[in-house]
Homo-oligomer: A and B are copies of this chain.
Amino acid sequence: MNIRRLADHLNISIGTVSRALNNRPGVHPETLEKVLKAATELGYVANQSGRSLRRGATNTIGFVIETGHPAHQAGDQFFYVVLDAMNLYLAEQRYDLVILPCHSADDPVEFLSRVIARGIVDALVMTATRRVDHRIAQLAKSKLPFMTLGRSETPGNYSWIDLDFEGVARRSVQEAVKLGHRRIAVGLPDNDVALGYHYKAGYLKGLAEAGIPVDESLLIRVPTSELGGFSLGKQVAGMAGQPTALLLCSEVTAAGVYAAFAEMGIEAGRDISVVAFRENPLMRFLNPAPACFRLDLDALGTRLGETVLDLLSPDEEIGRRRGEIVPLTFVQGKSLQPPRNPA
């Protein structure tokens, strides 16, 4: 079923049918109704290729994920919830959302070249942003509008939304210090992902404010995974001058840390305080409950949708590229308690 057959069926021209279907002005109300009715009955939906070719736009937003990247194996439903809310918003604005998976054996930059050149989307949302991100340089050269979830230091004409990793780290230090902690360890990602740098910056700022000197041995880099968390827990608990608190920049590592502690007979809070990152359903099942930070995933998804569509606005002010930092709320938990021998 194409527009010609639909038009023939109605004995009118394809031009009128097209106008009717696209809500263009200047169609007789009666004709409009007839067209819409017939389209529904015959199950007509405009062919995307024809429309895109003609319009030079696809009305589709691409969400790029790297299926091999640890940020996406983070486990819980983070992306599902965010995507759901984002998709809902985009649908209201008559945009489609497709997820473009870049597999682990592919080069992310080449992958993007193809996406850009083939013109399958009008704008992109990038994830797993690195501090220095070649994909951003690549996109900046093209004319395809894009935004990133996560800041990068690579310049370019794009918008971004980032979680307040720096604020979370700083607040975590403050909460620990308030209870008397002075030897505070931190688990950081072992790759170039941007959030690691911001988290570290917040940690350092927090220490500086409290007048605590930095001990490099307390900055521990591990893979962002359960296993990484396990290793982190073992390392921290086995250190010569055992820290009294441990801060985490990822929720998946928390389970690993708890498991390592369990094996060693260490209890979070009582022996070593733990501040996790994002509150998630799994945390409900860690005992004692981890102190962590709450994030409205639904609002984040909607905001992503708004921001990416703003990129396409002809209005210069709306279309202006902008950055936005999403705050998280501290949630008290039994994993954070005064140290046994306050300094």
Q: Quick check: B87 and A80 within 8 Å, CB to CB?
A: no
Contacts of A104 in B (CB 8 A): 84, 88
Q: Give the chain B neighbours of A87 by CB distance below 8 A.
A: 67, 101, 103, 106
Q: Given B46, B100, B119, B226, which contacts A282 in the complex, CB threshold below 8 Å?
A: B226
Measured in the bound complex, the distance between the Cα atoms of B118 and A88 in whole Å is: 19
**B259 near A47 (CB under 8 angstroms)?**
no
Q: Tell me the number of copies of this protein.
A: 2
- Asked whether A91 is an interface residue with its Cβ less than 8 Å from the other chain, the reply is yes
Interface string of A95-118 (1 = CB under 8 A from B): 001111101111000000110111
Query: In which size bucket is the chain A interface?
Result: 35 or more
Q: Tell me, in angstroms, the Cα distance from A152 to B231 when the chains sit together.
A: 42
A210 CB-CB contact with B under 8 Å: no
A117's partner among B44, B53, B58, B281 (CB-CB below 8 A) is B44
Residues of B with C-beta under 8 A to A116:
45
Provide the bound-state CA to CA distance between A113 and B68, in Å.
31
Q: Is A256 interfacial (CB 8 A cutoff)?
A: yes
| Contact in complex: A80, B76 (CB < 8 Å) | no
Complex A-B, nearest 4 residue pairs according to Cβ-Cβ distance, in ascending order? A45-B117, A259-B285, A99-B99, A67-B84
* A interface residues with partner B (beta carbon < 8 Å): 1, 43-50, 52-53, 58, 67-68, 72-73, 75-77, 80-81, 83-84, 87-88, 91, 97-101, 103-106, 113-114, 116-120, 225-227, 230, 255-256, 258-259, 262, 281-282, 284-285, 287
